[in-house]
Structure 1
Amino acid sequence: MHVIMRPIVTEKATWASGHFNRFAFEVSKIASKTQIKNAVEAMYKVRVLGVNTQTRRIRNRSYAYGLVIGKTWKRAIVKIHPDDKIELF
């Protein structure tokens, strides 16, 4: 199972990474906080201090041909040790 899908690069996420050492990733919907922590530590060789997760949903859209249901996805905000850096952002 692939735990980390992609990094989330938005203005808010980039600001948080520079000021608070917090990085945002889109992760698998069934991944636990422990799995996310282990995946980030293995992939980027950093020490993770904490993981916060959110399950998000894109709103439904109505078109002429019917209703399109928005997909759900999971976001993980990972706090890393102040001495470590992720050069992704």
Structure 2
Amino acid sequence: MNQERLMQVLLAPQISEKATYVADKNEQVIFRVASDATKPEIKAAVELLFKVQVESVQVANVKGKVKRTRHGLGRRKGWKKAFVCLKPGQEINFVAGE
């Protein structure tokens, strides 16, 4: 796989209360990824960027919320979420300085 492409696959870590709970319970990390990203690309990108071993990847498409504006109804863009399961003993730390 092209290394430039792998650098563009992961957009941001998804940090929320639910994501933290999932990370603690299942040894998974949640990422916001490019909408056209595939599971093998996501796995390769995480292994390349964070130097960890990935066991599996699950993907979910999140629909954009419908919002009301003064011009009627509008819709936010949808996005893709990846649940990356790490092999036992592996860890990704997003907090700098620790």
- Figure out how many residues of one structure are paired with residues of the other and give that number: 89
Q: 2: distance between equivalents of 1:69 and 1:18?
A: 33
1:36-51 correspondence to structure 2 within 5 Å: 36-51=42-57
Establish whether residue 20 from structure 1 lines up as the match of residue 26 from structure 2. yes
2:92 is paired with a residue whose SS is coil
What is the letter of the counterpart of residue 21 of structure 1? E
What is the letter of the counterpart of residue 56 of structure 1? V
2:89 is paired with a residue whose SS is coil
> Structure 1 length normalisation: TM-score?
0.92
Deviation track 1:11-36 (CA, whole Å, cap 9, x = no partner) reads 11111212211000000000000000
What is the letter of the counterpart of residue 63 of structure 1? T
2:90 alignment partner in structure 1: 84
Q: Percent identity?
A: 31
Unpaired runs of 5+ in structure 2? Answer: none
Unpaired runs of 5+ in structure 1? Answer: none
Q: CA deviation at 1:65?
A: 2.1
> Structure 2 length normalisation: TM-score?
0.84
1:62 alignment partner in structure 2: 68
What is the letter of the counterpart of residue 72 of structure 1? G
Q: Which shifted more, 10-19 or 41-50?
A: 10-19
